[in-house]
Amino acid sequence: MPRTHHFYTYFDRNYLPRGLILRNSLRASGVAFRLHILCLDPATACHFAAEASGDTIPVPLAELEAADPALAAVKSQRSTASYYFTLTGAFGRFLFDRNPAIGQLTYLDADIQFFGSPEMVFEEIGNAPVAIVPHRFSDRNAAKRRYGLFNVGWITWRRHPVGFACLDDYRAQCLEWCHDYMDGDRFADQRYLDVWPSVYPGLHVIAHKGANLAPWNLDSQPLELRDGRILADGQPLVFYHFHRLRQTGAAAFERNLGDYLVNPAEVPGSAVVEAIYRPYEEQLTRLSPLATFATVRSVPSCAEPALPAWEYRPHGWQPEADAPGWNVPAAMDALADRLAIVQRRQGTTLPVAGDARTTAETMVLGYAAARAATPEEPLTVLDWHGGLGIHQEALDLLLPRIRFEHHCRATPALAERGRSLVPQAAFHDSDAAAFARRYDLVIARGSLHQSEHWREDLRRLAAAAGKLLVVLRLPVVSSVPSFVLLHRVAAADYTTSWQGWAVNLVEFLKAAADEGLEFDRQMPVEEMPCVQGAPEQPELRGFLFRRGAV
């Protein structure tokens, strides 16, 4: 009698058609299986309650939450997607506890389709207590390694001391922290897997090239169609991960392969790509009406939004422009999340911030602070439009021997929130209050160019800088006059936009010199954005100015 494999997954009504395709592909593969589905909303639970299917076991989310009260304690602290990620380990442990007969349990992402029998993978896994699948990023996508060496799309645990130790640790880690953004060496429920091969004896890393073929590795191996089977590097395709496939109409889809720098025409065996995607899209068309699908699991990519991230504004500054900046609740929440990361770094050996850019900027600011500090007096610092004070916290962490007196100019809403989150800093909600005195160090990070009258604000910043002024993330151009641009941000947890300037470098340096500032040092080029329609593409640069000998 063939062995029955136990799989589990979770999804809401937005991913219901994909979950059904996953189940149908398991049926077509010929394996004996039970698919345990955590129904993330009532509509999904109702769909399966109306079925009579021996291979499908639906579990309402409320049932898991009742059995694992620790989930309720974190639910209100996480976005919907982050909470879903938190459930991966908890639901696995729940299923083992509720079903003593389950000897092996495999998690699957809902946007997977099997093209061959999973037995090929299980034969490779053997009796390993844990098995995980690598991303196998193509060379073009090597930078995405920061989101994890391994993909959560397939994880197998065995009822074994090592398997349970891994699963229990995973559940606890996801309960402690699980968010859909980078935090040092953590990302969602995925980067925890990086260290598993070094921690859990006997763990198996799946080597089959046909397991977890996906957009991030699609162009790294030759594909061919032979005798009705799709082969990846000569091995049968077991399952494909339809990551970021989006349905935009009744029968219209965006594959978004370009997000992973994949040009289907350049893929070895490019005709096979159509053989993978077209049938899946046809199934989605049959199973669902016109729908826009939420992303249940997403690895951030280099996708561009429907509108360009940077856009040239040839008609100059537009006071009526729809550019809310940080005056968006989700954006302020995102700032608070990133601030909390820095605050949790106290007493650890981790980088001072959860992302590389903030960490690098803090190092630059730390250099300036060390230049301006004296042992006798506290170092007074003004962070002009510095959000919720993330750099205040980061500088305290980076330079514990310097006594800081932090001031932050922010919008009224941000200032009010900052006072509660960073009580040791003084928050000013007007320029009149912020510029009522001088400071040893003044910081304008990504804010000066967002002022319609940037020259006037540079004059105020220069007047307030007793020793040093640091300007970071300033878009500068060299061969054309200053011009207006619009910057749209589509982060994982918020969207917003800012109107701003690409400032002519010569004009900027002259304006600083006119205010008595000496150009001390240029910081590294931080970014080279592509501004659609611009007469010259700007560079985001950093500048350090001093007043006298420092």
DSSP code per residue over 209-263: TTEEE-TTTGGGS-EEEETTEEEETTEE--EEE-TT-EEEETTEEE--GGGGT--
Weakest mean pLDDT among 282-286, 348-352, 417-421: 348-352
SS3 state at 181 = coil
> Rounded to whole angstroms, how far apart are CA atoms 39 and 15?
10
* Percent above pLDDT 90 for the chain: 73
Residues 6+ positions from 224 with CB-CB distance below 8 Å: 230, 231, 269, 272
pLDDT at residue 323, as a whole number: 87
Residue 25 has pLDDT above 70, yes or no: yes
Kindly tell me if the per-residue pLDDT of 322 is higher than 80.
no
User: Is residue 300 over pLDDT 70?
Assistant: no
Q: Was domain 4-211 assigned CATH 3.40.50.720?
A: no
Which residue carries 């908890």 as its tokens? 90
> Does 545 score more than 50 pLDDT?
yes
Residue type, 120: M
Question: pLDDT at residue 303 above 50?
Answer: no
**Sign of the C-alpha dihedral, residues 350, 352, 357, 358?**
positive
pLDDT at position 370 over 50: yes
Q: What is the pLDDT of residues 90-107, one digit of tens each?
A: 999 999 999 999 999 999
pLDDT at 299 over 50: no
Query: What does the mean pLDDT of the chain come to?
Result: 91
What integer pLDDT is reported at residue 374 of this predicted model? 94
Looking at per-residue pLDDT, the higher value among 37 and 49 belongs to 37
pLDDT of residue 301: 41
Torsion of CA 204, 207, 212, 215, to 10 degrees: 130
Helix then strand count (H, E) for the chain reads 16, 28
What pLDDT, on a 0 to 100 scale, did the predictor assign at position 350? Answer: 86
Spatial separation of the C-alpha atoms in residues 490 and 306, rounded to whole Å: 10
Look at 477 and 268; give whichever has higher pLDDT: 477
Higher-confidence residue of 526 and 129: namely 129
Q: Nearest to residue 54, comparing CAs of 4, 106, 119? A: 4
Amino acid at 53: S
At 69 the pLDDT is: 96
Residue 524 reports pLDDT greater than 50: yes
Instruction: Compute the distance between CA of residue 93 and CA of residue 337 in angstroms, rounded to an integer.
Output: 28
pLDDT at 305: 39
What pLDDT is attached to residue 132? 98
Residue 288 has pLDDT above 90, yes or no: no
Between 51 and 84, the more confident residue is: 84
Mean pLDDT throughout 528-545? 89
Tokens of 105: 């349990």
Is the confidence at residue 3, as pLDDT, over 60? yes
Res. 269 pLDDT band, cuts 50 70 90 = low
264 falls in which pLDDT band (50, 70, 90)? confident
Any idea which of 293-297, 305-309, 342-346 has the lowest mean pLDDT? Answer: 293-297
Q: What pLDDT score was predicted for residue 261?
A: 82
For residues 4 and 228, what is the distance between their CA atoms, to the nearest angstrom? Answer: 27
Q: Is the pLDDT of residue 220 over 90?
A: no
Among 3.40.1190.20, 3.40.50.150, 3.90.550.10, 3.40.50.300, name the CATH number for the domain at 310-546: 3.40.50.150
| HSE of 189, CA atoms in CB hemisphere, 13 A | 28
Q: Calculate mean pLDDT across residues 158-181.
A: 96
pLDDT score of 426 more than 90: yes
Q: Is 449 helix (H, G, I), strand (E, B) or coil?
A: helix
What are the start-end ranges of the E strands in 373-464? 379-384, 404-409, 426-428, 439-445
Residue-wise pLDDT for 459-505, tens only, equals 999 999 999 999 999 999 888 899 999 999 877 678 899 999 999 99
Domain ranges of the chain: 4-211, 310-546
Are 38 and 83 within 8 A, CB to CB?
no
pLDDT at 304 over 50: no
pLDDT over threshold 60, residue 230: yes
DSSP state of 1: -
* pLDDT classification of 544: cutoffs 50, 70, 90: very high
